[in-house]
Structure 1
């Protein structure tokens, strides 16, 4: 395995989170004990390991981190970037792309020593509520600016320090809701092998999902984007599949680091797309073995990377039922999934 590459002199971040953590296990300070009593008192949905908190059904293991973030998270005024999603919407791909875009001054995307060649994208960009629940909150505070982080929190659950701070930008990604269900089911069966798709489907229709009701999650960030497009960028996974180079340019523009004509002529956008492609990331040894966090193997983040898998798993009756619910919940929003 190649040794960690060094940022070029004078280049700006972000830096891989795993490099900051290192082997400092003794420095962990988990909020789990502090919030254990509160979490255990919340209504539960054991089949999906969910607890009902602030009107949402959320993954139990993330709740200590969510509570800690809501209580005390403070973004650095200029440069912090939070990647948000309901999960299973291309989050891993977005992490890789955002890291490669923001860190291109330090790590050339064409280099054979790029961090994404030796680290899973989730090891480069920390999942905030998960990392804090695991005890790495102090290490997130130590990250040099600009910090690049991710969350599955709904917009309504974000602390004001993220939702209202003008210097903290949010990039959101979602996808066709039916594909979210299928992808989440495949993913969650890693720790719940006997979980049926029917169980996930029925729970989702009732608003019980891994990060809260899917429609609430999507509409919350959609409305935030419409209200303040300079603060929130709203992306759709299917658009990323169709034209990743365009999304990379849009991402760079939104984050205040547009590609220069020199970079365009040098093929930097193409290099980033190639480096972060599903096929390339899936082929890397680091993404075939090991775990990023929470007992989910790195390989589990690279299943198919395609759209429309719901057509294989959902009956016509399921499709009609779920589409009706989603259409009703999103009525008047102007958001439509093709």
Structure 2
């Protein structure tokens, strides 16, 4: 097959795929959204059209290998930080101290660890390959479920995750955000109509899976990682099969990784202050405060109570609890 024939074949396949997406959208429940004109419900969760296309594409084409590592979270729940930490611990032999030439100094974590629903997963051929996703457990590509690849899920308190998402969307100055009040956004969040929502269902599915299949899925709390980063990184490394040796700890390798990947350090790097991703998104949008309990500066007591009530209702019958 010639190059032109290959290109034409690829275009036909892509055209067919987008036509399938268009037809699917017309049949799905939809809801008004602060993030896009509409969110569409697919397999129990809500997506804007572009992200749903990515989910569908990954379900069709992503082929997980046993050595792969998949990092999962709801949006604004520690995704950027988790990517940097896992990338650094996996590649620590390649980029040892001093860390003047570490890739994280010149690359945003989202460039080094790509989203599988971002149509970029074909670019990684290293072993292990590290990918990330916001896709709910039930909608993951079958190859992820069937393979022995490892999954690390990072969970955050819903009020902090919501507030981080609120500021993230405002910072991106999305046109669709005009006229959206925080009250409306909280209402949508609580009824589950937010990007990759319902937030609580997303977390609970992975939490239950981590208990039923602990060798496959590890569930970590963002707040515990912030309070005890070295201990958390050691636990993640052990789970992934890349444990730190006593010599490495004595030589400060673990400490160096935690310092390198700290939000305080990453946010000050030029690539994260002035850089842009391939889609044009400014990298500075991924860094704000990352504080535990930072929601108190943004949410009114009544809005916080609305989220708390939803959380209480969602956790009925479960012994899982979010970090307060």
| TM-score, with structure 2 as normaliser | 0.88
Q: Does 1:163 align with 2:145?
A: yes
Q: Which residue pairs with 2:282 in the alignment?
A: 297
1:175-226 CA-partner distances (Å, limit 9, x unpaired): 1101111111111121245233222101011110111200100001000001
Contact (CA 8 Å) 2:77, 2:155: kept in 1 or not? yes
Q: Which residue pairs with 1:173 in the alignment?
A: 154
Q: Does 1:105 align with 2:90?
A: no
Q: Does 1:237 align with 2:222?
A: yes
Give the Cα–Cα distance (whole angstroms) in 2 for the partners of residues 278 and 227 of structure 1.
32
- Which of residues 46, 49, 52 is equivalent to 1:57? 46
Q: Which residue pairs with 1:73 in the alignment?
A: 62
Q: Which residue pairs with 2:117 in the alignment?
A: 129
SS of residue paired to 2:189:
helix
Give the Cα–Cα distance (whole angstroms) in 2 for the partners of residues 129 and 311 of structure 1.
32
Structure 1 unmatched runs, 5+: 1-27
Residue 229 (structure 1) shift: 1.0
Contact (CA 8 Å) 2:62, 2:116: kept in 1 or not? no
Residue 164 (structure 1) shift: 3.5
Q: Which residue pairs with 2:6 in the alignment?
A: none
Q: What value does the CA root-mean-square deviation take over the aligned residues?
A: 1.8
Give the Cα–Cα distance (whole angstroms) in 1 for the partners of residues 297 and 63 of structure 2.
44
Residue 34 (structure 1) shift: 4.6
| TM-score, with structure 1 as normaliser | 0.85
Q: Which residue pairs with 2:260 in the alignment?
A: 275
**How many residues get paired?**
303
Q: Does 1:89 align with 2:77?
A: yes
Runs of 4+ in 1 over 4 A off after TM superposition: 28-32
1:23-78 CA-partner distances (Å, limit 9, x unpaired): xxxxx97676354423541333343222221221113211122112222322112x
1:100-156 CA-partner distances (Å, limit 9, x unpaired): 0001121225320100000000000001102x1xxx34324xx22111000000111
SS of residue paired to 2:70:
strand
SS of residue paired to 1:296:
coil
Moved more, 52-61 or 267-276: 52-61
Q: Which residue pairs with 1:261 in the alignment?
A: 246
Give the Cα–Cα distance (whole angstroms) in 2 for the partners of residues 247 and 91 of structure 1.
15
SS of residue paired to 2:63:
coil
Give the Cα–Cα distance (whole angstroms) in 2 for the partners of residues 36 and 46 of structure 1.
19
Give the Cα–Cα distance (whole angstroms) in 2 for the partners of residues 233 and 169 of structure 1.
8
Structure 2 unmatched runs, 5+: 1-9
Q: Does 1:226 align with 2:214?
A: no
Query: Structure 1's 336 and 251: CA in aligned 2 closer, same or farther, altered over 3 A?
Result: same
Give the Cα–Cα distance (whole angstroms) in 1 for the partners of residues 292 and 141 of structure 2.
32
Give the Cα–Cα distance (whole angstroms) in 1 for the partners of residues 57 and 279 of structure 2.
18
Q: Which residue pairs with 1:9 in the alignment?
A: none
SS of residue paired to 1:150:
strand
